Amino acid sequence: MLINARDKNWDLLLSWQAKYLQLSKGIMLIDDFAEIENIPLQHQDIVRMYIKNILSYQQQLTQLMITRHSQLRELISKHVNYQNKIDKYQEIARLM
Residue 26 has pLDDT above 80, yes or no: no
62 in Cβ contact with 13 (< 8 Å): no
Mean pLDDT of the chain: 80
- Can you give the pLDDT at residue 21? 80
* Per-residue model confidence as pLDDT tens digits over 27-62: 776 655 666 777 788 887 887 788 888 888 888 888
Instruction: Give me the pLDDT at residue 74, please.
Output: 92
With contact defined as beta carbons under 8 Å apart, do 68 and 8 qualify? Answer: no
pLDDT at 67: 87
pLDDT at 76 (0 to 100):
92
Residue 41 is predicted with a pLDDT of: 81
What CA dihedral angle connects 67, 69, 74 and 80, to 10 degrees? 170
Question: Rounded CA gap, 15 and 9, in Å?
Answer: 10
Kindly give the residue spans of alpha helices, DSSP state H, lying in 1-96.
2-6, 10-29, 41-95
